[in-house]
Amino acid sequence: MSCSNSPFPEPSHIRAITLDLDDTLWPVWPTIHKAEAHLLAWLQVHAPRAAAHWQQPGVPQALRAAVEAAHPDRLHDLSFLRKQTIAQVLQAAGEDVALAEPAFAEFFAVRQQVEPYPEVEEALRRLAARWPLIALSNGNAQVMQMPVGRYFHSALGAREAGVAKPDARIFAQAARQAGCALQEIMHVGDDPLLDVDGARQAGMHVAWINREGAHWPLVTAVPRQFRELTALADALLGRQD
């Protein structure tokens, strides 16, 4: 399915494609929940008072909010925020704050165990045969270390960029990685504001991955949208590539 009020570029006008990761190539929340459960199990062994405190209603949310309020300049760095939140729960429970590093490592390892949507690998293979693909994410998934990483030219995260989508600077950095102008790049993502409008305002072509068939929620022009990545590859390459 694809429909739009916006023009779609000729494939010959595209020199590179940037792709969001979480909820574009894989569902993120099942992995986050699994990583958080693993972290809690680790804390129950190594810092049981912290584990008990963590399970109190509202505690994780309150600690995360406090960390974000204390570090407004680091909101783009999800790894930093997660590690600091773990340190806060350890401190509040009277545990060794030095355990924040190994605790985060446990969380982070499981956070990388994503399960791409069924069509993703084949669609990436098709797209990568024609264009350099650059991962562009606000999250901290290490796509270049995953099996699908072989289809990517490079990856840029908000932590490395110093800013997060929809800030135009992260799209500009991706364009420099690609070695081409913003108007020669298509950005593909699931988030209407962070991905679609952010990239569009930066000067990129855009494609909205709308797996749930949601209505376009913004007042800006409806972009070309696709229920999954194969449909995008078909639109750009045709079915006989």
Q: Are 71 and 80 in contact (CB under 8 A)?
A: yes
List phi, psi (to 5°) of 55. -85, 0
* Orientation angle between helical segments 78-92 and 100-111, nearest 10 degrees: 140
Is 20 among the catalytic positions? yes
Q: Which of 20, 190, 191, 197 is catalytic?
A: 20
Complete DSSP assignment for 180-191: S-GGGEEEEES-
> How far, in Å, are 46, 92, 169 from residue 12 at the CA level?
56, 57, 25
Q: What are the structure tokens assigned to 89, written together? A: 């729960």
Annotated catalytic residues are: 20
